[in-house]
Chain A
Amino acid sequence: MKRILSALTLLLLTVGLVSAQGGYLVKGVVVDAQGPVIGATVLQQGTQNGTVTGLDGDYTLRVPDADALVEISCIGYATQVFKASEVPATVTLAEDTEFLDEVVVIGYGTLSKKEVSASIVQVDSKDFFRGTTNNPMTMLTGKVAGLNVVTSQGSNPNSGSDYQIRGATSLNAGNGPLVVIDGVPGGEIRSLSPQDIESMTVLKDAASASIYGTSGANGVILITTKKGSKDEPGTAHVTYDGAFNVNFVKAPIAVLSPEEWVRSRRGTDYGARTDWYSALLRDFSYGHTHYVGVDGSTAKGSYNASVSYKNSLGVDLVDAREEFGARAALEQRIIKDFLQLNISLNARRVNEEYGNDGSFGTALTINPTFPIYNEDGSYYQPTAPTNATNPVEAMLNKTANGQRLYATGAVSLKANFIRTDVHSLSSTVTYSLDYNDYKSNNYTPIESHDKYWNGYEGTASLSYSKNWRNQLEWLFNYSFHQGNHHLNAVAGYSYMDHNSESMNMTNRGFAYDSILWNDIGSGTARTENPAQTSMGSGKSLSKVIALLGRVNYNWNNILFASVSLRHEGATNFGDNNKWGNFPAASLAWEMANMGFLSGAKWIDSLKPRISYGVTGRRGGSNVARPTYGSHGQYYMDGEWVKGYRPAANENPDLRWEKLVAVNAGIDFVFFNNRLRGSLDLYDRRSPDLLYNYTAPQPPFIHSSILVNVGETENLGAELALDGDIIRKPDFGWTSGINASVGYSRIKTLSNQIYGASYIDMLGTGGLGQTSYYYRYTEGSRIGTLYGYEAAGVNEFGDMMVYDNDGNIITAASANAAYKRYIGNTIPKLFLSWNNTFRYKHFDLNIFMNGAFGHMIYNNRRANNLQSSGNANVFRTAYTTDKDVREYGGVVTSYFLEHGDFMKIQNVSLGYTLNPKSEIIRSLRVFLTATDLYTITGYTGTDPALLSTNGLTPGVDNGSGYPETRVVTLGATLTF
């Protein structure tokens, strides 16, 4: 990517060529070891005056005088600078290994890219998506093979994204990666402005993540924020970055029009003809963001500060989000650089307004002959079916909002004890506090559906929660460089506590709507009908303490090795298992630096590597030890007595869930850095799975117990390829592909004490029991749907299925024993394809991503059959599914569809200018369209919006929330 930028610079320069006349003429040829270099830049330094070499590597350039400095550069080579009069006729460029010298952030340190021996991908800010986003994580969508980011409601500014690295391997302890912001684990990425992020590094294998112990099993995303510039002391730059976006709603799934609904006699015609869906949409949904940052350097340090503002309106009538952010980072060196002090502060205030996401689902199914309003202008209240609500009323006739505060502060002091050419030793103590709180407010007015159905005259509820984490780390860093030996070591102590407190209350029966929740005690229910009110609070504290160490060794830039160990304990483990060890090792071999490849000049790097590591996951707290908790009440001796009982089935042996992983890969750079890529193969096993197993009753009091039983495995491969297909002065085309394949499988579910022959997940209809979309047994792959094999419908419209003897019977009477695995919802292949074109000052990025080889259960279709009561239904009920009257309420293969899709996720056109102005250093404007088009045969929700993560993906229960295309116009200005 660096090359693209330099190429861009070059383009700009060619434009600057126009009018150079007179002065001193420089002529010559540019070559490298192989011969002429085409397209090298020859530039009068510090100006726009320049040219590029032709087919024979030749060039001519006119400069003002013989003393002018001429800079000759080309991507992949070291830049050379000469006085005009001293430029040799033949300039020989030497290959530049800058690409491999890029610094990569790893846990508790950094490495140069060439030294990396684990599976690590770093994405720098210049490669992030430009456009508006709810969550900075979406800037990585498709950028990292094996990282899957799913944003299901991108057009709702208050909704987030779900992300997962490689396959899901945990049943109970979560599959989301750890986010580490500037060394502080567990932070909320939405607390940051995207513009403040310098880079995001994804630690994919266990070897790189095991330094994070029981937090690292799902991979780690390290976020590094911008620091002060390293420019000449005293300089400062100001950056303004702003964008404006407009959301365009795509057509929802077609339902019967009011006329069709009446004609098909679905229910009582109440006279009106209402388009409920459109009634919930804003006329104009837009958002804008503004960011101003300043960064500079001082004699003994540097600083970086920014403020940002963001305002987004959802496509529905109510949802909106406003963010105010501020950040400052300061570095100061003291006592002849013996001490280094770093301080950073980040704060973000978020105001959220909530609509009612459920309203869209209602809008698609409610009787379209109900009016929205009565004649007097009040909301129309449907009287049937039970609990029916007018979706417009449900959306508008309430006030719901929330406020969040994120605040993070870190201070660290580093002492450099030894700094010689051979040895260096330093020690750093860092303290950080990460705090966030959230208050949400809700008020439903006196006159509302709530009164109609439940008799509540005004409901106010408030909830407040705060979480904070203290972290103290004391690290020692040692490095040794002599001859061919380079060694870096880190060791230290880490303490973290995670605190959380919450409270909530609900009261009802208010006299004035205007007070909202602001005098919640004035509701009459508190005294007259306490059962309609509620009050609650909670507090928890968990601690994780660790000793950690790692050694990285580099022999002659040929062999790279890393060994690490984390010894970690946590409060929520059982008394018998407080501490665990998490070792890791990795090794890489740079073959390009071996003698036998010295002839193959086109190989810049060829580095096979292998790694092994153990990481873990933690379960819930307060389940290992015997405690009593409140449980109900009973009337005893004339009063109601609060009941108490053992709060959970204790398990003193409870420990962490393990992940043991092996990763083999190869990194390569060929053809003068023109083709770059890596291939990874991994095998991840999770033994000692945490799961809430059925506890034998008797003797246990509770029906489940959290224990470590079972094992999953996850195998896969990832390929990343990036190539400069065209590298011409005026035109360039860089294309990149990320592909990943893989699957997860349950290996075992039982041990001697706890056994399960299967685990059911994601409940749905069944016969006499809750049935589940997923039944995982030993050997089953994650994502395999469990249901009946459909055999069409009979003459009465009953869904028919096969029994185990091949007979065809009605689904409504099918025994659970006839269920089988009917399809897999995890894509076999994830693919993304990124293309960047540049032409002079313009650049164009087209990004596509897709997933292939998976099925989706179209539950929306199943719930929209002709027999769905009086509700409005999808038009498919009268077309595709017209023969199905009764589908039996169970999962059958009838509603399975192929989920393959390819999506034009992003198209972005940019124009960059480096004006000759003294004030403006650079200017870039861009126009981005997101979510342009999805190519798919799937008929329900856009399959790109449906989860392909976790253990229960691919069931389309889409809420009906609008899907949108977003167009963003933005600009970045640097002063």
Chain B
Amino acid sequence: MKKIFHTLALAAAALGLTACFDLTEQAFNRIEKDNFYQSESSVKGAIASVYYTAEGSFGEYFFYLNEFSADQIAWRVWNGGQWGWDNAEKFVLSSHTWTSQSSIIQSAWNNTWGAIGETNSIIHDLETIDLEAIGVSPEKAAQYIDEMRTLRAWCYYNLFEVWGGALPLNTEVTSEVPPTADPDFNTSCKKIWQFLITELDESLAGLPKNNVNRMNQATNRMIKARLLLNAAVFTGEDHFSECASLCQEILDGNYGTYALADDFRDIYNIDNVNCPEVIFALASEYGKSHGNAYNCRNVTFFPYNAFGDPESIFGSNNDQGRWNCVIIAPSHDNSGNEVLATGGTDTGGKSFLFDYGDKLGAVYDRFDNRDIRKKPYHADEKGNWEGLFLMGPQVDYYTGAALPADADRDGQNLVYVDQVGTFQNKGRDLATVMSPHWGETNSGYRLVRYPVLPDVCEVDFRDIDEVEFRLAEVYYMLAECKLRAGDSAGAKELVNQVRKRYFKASDWTSVQNEPGPGFDAFDEDWMLNEWGKEFLCEGRRRRTDLRRFDKFTQGQWWFFGRGEGDDSYPAKRDRKYEWFPLPEAALTVNPGLVQNPNYVAD
């Protein structure tokens, strides 16, 4: 029968009826692959897409993985454990109860490999297409390739911090499915670490200096410095002295001209691309960029009346969704004589820092009272702003009238307390220490990392570029290397160079010699504490800090490690969670992947 049909088809074709059997698919809203590269603009279009993919991934999923699992930021649920529960997607990060099926882990994986796949494809194309035909010089192509290799290395670095030696390596456009770099987790760690060092070194030359929104030399070197600083975590070998000398080279201006900002607000303001401290920032503009970056670092904290007309905390009428889900870790427990009408207790509870002696968490108490950042956030109509926190009673920007709360505190005022608990016993009885599952609308102070200005200033906070690499980190890396080499005075000096800007000159005389609230020496605890304050909510608490000081699973903060046997938060801390598990879906389709041995029993 088939033959007959084909004969018929052939006969028809012979009659000039080929069109009657033409099944070539036409794409109208896509570009055929073979027609894609038309000019240098096409190359830039492909590169723009990679940054966009990376921005989405690093701005959201890696932020969750590295902050919610750590001691400073938490996703808290309210309204009797109902609102913001979101299938516990983020709660499992705070409580260290994630599994290989956890959504955020899956998303982080998918997005970043997407970005890596795109870089592989661009590098392959630039190496194989007829560059002359599209008017791109070989030198220019080489620069693009170096940019893509560095960007790819950054993607790998982010994956590496999360998954360590479980990762595969893939730098080719191929249909071969690559296995984990080495079946042995630790050997694999070393291989990947070395691969990244080599990639970064090889791709340095073609990069520009001081190109703040693109991969540049200083960014390349900072990624390498992070690899060196954390080498002990990754490979078991320490490279602190190598790290120190690389940091010194960056500070010496070998990879671009940078300087610490005198006014810390310059780092976060709308023109932060011009701030000398900023080395790399993801470009952001409402309606153009990905949005995950500004979503996560600001609006996750904000209540519904953050923006609005006529009432608004910020004097801004903005259509950005407000999440009301994220808080800074509370400084105080829920003890007290009585519960206040708006939530919290009359005494304000005991301090995790001062009363419990925690070296971690307790974000607000951690700041020195003389620190100019330790204030309620407020911006004037000229765009000057101060303070980092939404705390206490919230009022309308223009009238000063109290603003209402919602959900479990519907009909009452919005008054933020530095405690987290179900003070109305909704869904659970109030306990002294409660996990973020049992918050209320009023629970927890909020952070304003990037300023939100009143409408009259005509600045949309969503247009502020999101800083990923800045010079202060180089100071801190160098300081830590010195501290670890026994030079705590040198460490203190470097840290002080950065934090001097947070104090009035009159206060600085005494502050500069104090290790800060809750600390009595310039030791490792102090150093970790300083990292936390300087880079609060910048997405790197777990990755470069807690792991390196071995506090990620072994430290104690807030509810973490204080569980009373309730299975919704951990009573014990488990080293199993030092690394994240490979997502189950990835394991299913790639038999070459070797799960992190700690999760194999799952």
Contacts and interface: CB of A to CB of B under 8 A. Distances in A.
A455 B79 contact: no
Contact of B28 (A541, A543, A636): A541
A622 interface: yes
Contact of B102 (A387, A570, A769): A769
A755 B5 contact: no
A870 B85 contact: no
Contacts of B101: 768-769, 816
B427 A644 contact: no
Interface string B9-52: 10010000000111111111111110010000110111111111
Contacts of A319: none
A632 B25 contact: no
Given A625-B25, A625-B27, A699 B36 contact: no
Interface in B569-602: 585-586, 588-590, 602
B286 A531 contact: yes
Interface stretch (B175-183, B240-248, B359-367): B175-183
Given A628-B33, A867-B80, A867-B82, A634 B117 contact: no
B404 interface: yes
Given A644-B46, A699-B176, A796-B428, A632 B290 contact: yes
A459 B485 CA distance: 63
B206 interface: no
- What range describes how many residues of B lie at the interface? 35 or more
A703 interface: yes
Contacts of B283: 634-635
A624 interface: yes
In terms of DSSP, what is the predominant structure of the interface of chain B? loop
B87 A765 contact: yes
Given A385-B410, A766-B87, A885-B427, A754 B589 contact: yes
A622 B27 CA distance: 7
A542 B214 CA distance: 41
B173 A768 contact: no
A386 B295 CA distance: 17
B586 A768 contact: no
B82 A636 contact: no
Contacts of B588: 694, 755-757
Contact of A644 (B2, B45, B87, B318): B45
Interface stretch (A412-420, A805-813, A900-908, A949-957): A805-813
Contacts of B8: 547
A769 B407 contact: no
A549 B113 CA distance: 49
B406 interface: yes
Most buried by B among A571, A624, A869: A869
Contacts of B22: 543
B114 interface: yes
B89 A768 contact: yes
Most buried by B among A268, A542, A631, A697: A697
A634 B110 contact: no
B420 interface: no
Interface string A380-404: 0001111100000000000000000
Contacts of B23: 543, 545, 569-571, 573, 578-579
Given A493-B20, A769-B87, A699 B120 contact: yes
A698 B113 contact: yes
A554 B103 CA distance: 61
A870 B410 contact: yes
B42 A644 contact: yes
Given A384-B404, A634-B283, A771-B87, A696 B48 contact: no
Given A627-B33, A699-B176, A767 B404 contact: no
B411 A268 contact: yes
Contact of B2 (A567, A640, A756): A567
B309 A455 contact: yes
A565 B1 CA distance: 8
B228 interface: no
B117 A768 contact: no
Interface string A230-244: 000000000000000
A453 B21 CA distance: 55
Interface stretch (B91-99, B443-451, B493-501, B530-538): B91-99
Contacts, number: 291
Contacts of B102: 768-769
B187 to A, nearest CB: 20
A583 B1 CA distance: 10
Nearest to B403: A383
Interface in B209-262: 213-214
A645 B174 CA distance: 16
B272 interface: no
A110 interface: no
A643 B48 contact: yes
A702 interface: yes
Most buried by A among B30, B56, B407, B590: B30
B307 interface: yes
Interface in A689-729: 693-703
A645 B49 contact: yes
Nearest to A572: B25
B173 to A, nearest CB: 7
Given A454-B319, A756-B588, A768 B406 contact: no
Contacts of A703: 110, 114
A889 B55 CA distance: 31
A700 B82 CA distance: 37
A621 B79 CA distance: 45
Interface stretch (A57-65, A532-540, A739-747, A874-882): A532-540
B318 A889 contact: no
A557 interface: no
Given A629-B29, A768-B88, A384 B407 contact: yes
A267 interface: yes
Nearest to B429: A796
Given A632-B48, A757-B588, A698 B178 contact: yes
Contacts of A766: 87-88
Interface in B100-140: 101-103, 106, 109-110, 113-114, 116-118, 120-121
B349 to A, nearest CB: 23
Contact of A451 (B36, B172, B309): B309
B568 interface: yes
A870 B408 contact: yes
B431 to A, nearest CB: 12
Most buried by A among B5, B25, B175, B404: B25
Nearest to A548: B5
A126 B589 CA distance: 55
Interface in A315-354: none
B490 interface: no
A626 interface: yes
B567 A765 contact: no
Given A628-B31, A693-B589, A768-B98, A867 B410 contact: no
A530 interface: yes
A768 B407 contact: no
Contacts of B89: 768-770
A895 to B, nearest CB: 16
B382 interface: no
Given A385-B410, A756-B588, A642 B48 contact: yes
23 contacts: A384-B406, A451-B309, A453-B304, A455-B308, A455-B317, A541-B28, A545-B23, A547-B9, A565-B5, A569-B23, A626-B33, A628-B36, A629-B29, A634-B49, A634-B213, A644-B45, A698-B113, A699-B175, A767-B92, A768-B87, A769-B99, A769-B101, A812-B568
Given A644-B49, A696-B590, 6 more contacts: A493-B12, A538-B29, A578-B23, A634-B48, A636-B213, A768-B91
Interface of A: 267-268, 383-387, 451-456, 493, 495, 529-532, 537-543, 545, 547, 549, 565, 567, 569-573, 578-579, 581, 583, 621-622, 624-629, 631-637, 640-647, 693-703, 754-757, 765-771, 796, 809-810, 812-813, 815-817, 867-870, 885-886, 889
